Structure 1
Amino acid sequence: MTNSGTDMRHHKKPIISPLRYPGGKASLYTRLRAIVRANELTSGTYVEPYAGGAGAALGLLVTGQVRRIVINDLDQAIYAFWKAAIREPREISRMIQKADLTVAEWSRQKDIYLNGPRDDYLSLGFATFFLNRTNRSGVLNGGPIGGMDQTGKYKIDARFNRETLVERLRLISLYSKKITITNTDGLNIIKRYSKRENTLIYADPPYFEKAGSLYLNSFEHAHHSSLANCLNGAGEAKWLLTYDNVPTVAELYPDRRREIFSLNYSAHRVTKANEIMVFSDSLVVA
């Protein structure tokens, strides 16, 4: 195991995703780009089984580092947003431009998010996006920026720059034919794509610590074990995995190469945490 202590804060990265994610991995763009090139995958497919904000995936696609990307998320609401972004970019952009950035509208969108029909992907997708951009740190089960009484230092519209967000959606729409959106268990995606050549899988599952406060679909130990069995059994595939740096990772991946790196988190307060990367045997680590 190596302990490089690599600090990812200063690497330039393209910001393409319209979603905010605590500890989002768009900051790993430079490292992932190097890995893609070292493994000669620039004409290949990049897969995120636990995509969330998909910041790294979109960065790699838009800058021409990979030819196609797969964005998968088990959360129906997150999937609905990506489906809307790919299929109805103009409509969801119109909704962004006309959105009423008030606590009353926040309450209405939260009700849609919690109780609205799950098959209305445009309505559910926009409600998910609205809460992500107006909630503290983008946490979907959190409260609005500035509080319900809007007495905080920042207000509910602090992270809702309409022009910037619409431009990001426009850019994504230009690459829509190169983006596959799926809504299934991450293990299904790993099993499907691990058998394909010219493919890089980057697994960023819910973490061990504080996962319940950051993700709606948090993992139990059995899920972590199942993921480890799946990845450890995919020896010929090119994959990497990131986790919070806890002893369990070494227990689950004792024979895989591992490397510690630093990442900034913005949930509740900005903190710097050590995380860990795990690499498949066949991956050239750059």
Structure 2
Amino acid sequence: MINSGATMRHHKKPIISPLRYPGGKAALYTKLRAIVRANDLTSGTYVEPYAGGAGAALGLLVTGQVRRIVINDLDPAIYALWKAVVSEPLAISRMIEKVELTVPEWSHQKDIYLNAPRDDYLSLGFATLFLNRTNRSGVLNGGPIGGMDQTGNYKIDARFNRKTLVERLRLIALHAKRISVANTDGMTIIKRYSKRDNTLIYADPPYFEKAGSLYLNSFTETHHSALAACLNAVSDTKWLLTYDNVPRVAELYSDRRREIFALNYSAHRVTKANEIMVFSDSLTIA
């Protein structure tokens, strides 16, 4: 059931997402593109129930690999960012161009992130983007690059390239009518889209190890088990799942095909870790 010698070639991939995410799956663009083509889904819908940075989804959409994407995230701050990017790209672009990249401004945006009304998508969304681009490793609950005293080797503006961010938002805006944004539980999205024709679901949930430091919405054992039950129940539809390569994954998905692959992580320091991809029964593996 498991291929432990798989090699995944990562050719040049489009970088469209404005967000930095530890272990972001934009690196899987080539693999996902091949799967989309092998399953004749180029005119279909691609769904990410745990979208985070949505790097793969946006890459597939902008390069014409799929017709429509669904970006879902339970975190209200991440949802607000995507809601603002899709519905008010010009407004958030102006904020990117004008914001000061200073520690006082960081403190201000941190306060907005913690206290803004959840339905103030523009303010909350921009604060989320600001912290993601100015915090160490992009972790939202971390501290600013360079420290509060800005004595580090890199300063707070090191990952905030205004021109690049505005250009990415411009590209996303060109395809905004084909992007659906949702703020609900990932399993709800899986159940909603799994039975729809011409649809591919890619689930990338919070992982078993170090989940608390990388994700604001961490999973418990109950969550992992419930997700497995949800996906295994629709094994006759087209989905794939990625996890950290721990024994529990093989137990939860013992009847599904699995493949080990290597992926670089950027949180705290660059490392390469083995992860595992799980496939539904009806999916053609490219």
TM-score interval, smaller chain: over 0.9
Match of 1:3 in 2: 4
User: How much does 1:51 deviate?
Assistant: 0.1
Match of 1:17 in 2: 17
Amino acid paired to 1:162: R
Match of 1:84 in 2: 84
In the aligned structure 1, how far is the partner of 2:237 from the partner of 2:101? Answer: 46
Match of 1:106 in 2: 106
Amino acid paired to 1:211: A
In the aligned structure 1, how far is the partner of 2:26 from the partner of 2:135? Answer: 20
User: How much does 1:118 deviate?
Assistant: 1.2
Matched, 1:179 2:186: no
1:28-107 aligned at under 5 Å gives the runs: 28-107=28-107
Match of 2:164 in 1: 164
User: How much does 1:7 deviate?
Assistant: 4.6
Instruction: Write out per-residue CA displacement over residues 116-159 of structure 1, whole angstroms, 9 at most, x where no aligned residue.
Output: 11111100000000000000010001000000100000000000
Amino acid paired to 2:42: T
Q: Matched residue pairs, number?
A: 285
User: How much does 1:12 deviate?
Assistant: 1.2
Match of 2:239 in 1: 239
Instruction: Write out per-residue CA displacement over residues 11-61 of structure 1, whole angstroms, 9 at most, x where no aligned residue.
Output: 210000000000000000000000000000000000000000000000000
In the aligned structure 2, how far is the partner of 1:76 from the partner of 1:234? Answer: 27
State the SS of the aligned residue for 1:140: coil
Match of 2:257 in 1: 257
- Structure 1 residue runs of 4 or more that deviate by more than 4 Å after TM superposition: none
Tell me, yes or no, if the aligned pair for 2:46 and 2:69 is still in contact at 8 Å. Answer: yes
Amino acid paired to 2:202: Y
State the SS of the aligned residue for 2:217: coil
In the aligned structure 2, how far is the partner of 1:210 from the partner of 1:257? Answer: 25
In the aligned structure 1, how far is the partner of 2:55 from the partner of 2:20? Answer: 9
Instruction: Write out per-residue CA displacement over residues 267-286 of structure 1, whole angstroms, 9 at most, x where no aligned residue.
Output: 00000000000000000000
Instruction: Write out per-residue CA displacement over residues 221-242 of structure 1, whole angstroms, 9 at most, x where no aligned residue.
Output: 0000000000000022100000
Q: TM-score, normalised by structure 1?
A: 0.99
User: How much does 1:110 deviate?
Assistant: 0.4
In the aligned structure 2, how far is the partner of 1:273 from the partner of 1:235? Answer: 27
In the aligned structure 1, how far is the partner of 2:8 from the partner of 2:68? Answer: 28
Amino acid paired to 1:199: T
Match of 2:129 in 1: 129
In the aligned structure 2, how far is the partner of 1:58 from the partner of 1:239? Answer: 18
Tell me, yes or no, if the aligned pair for 1:5 and 1:262 is still in contact at 8 Å. Answer: no
Match of 1:143 in 2: 143
Tell me, yes or no, if the aligned pair for 1:206 and 1:219 is still in contact at 8 Å. Answer: yes
Tell me, yes or no, if the aligned pair for 2:8 and 2:31 is still in contact at 8 Å. Answer: no
Instruction: Write out per-residue CA displacement over residues 70-129 of structure 1, whole angstroms, 9 at most, x where no aligned residue.
Output: 000000000000000011000000000001100000001001101111111100000000
In the aligned structure 1, how far is the partner of 2:20 from the partner of 2:43? Answer: 28
Match of 1:118 in 2: 118
Query: What CA RMSD, in Å, does the superposition of the two structures yield over aligned residues?
Result: 0.7
Q: TM-score, normalised by structure 2?
A: 0.99
State the SS of the aligned residue for 1:6: coil
Amino acid paired to 1:270: V
Amino acid paired to 2:36: V
In the aligned structure 2, how far is the partner of 1:50 from the partner of 1:36? Answer: 19
Amino-acid identity (%) = 82
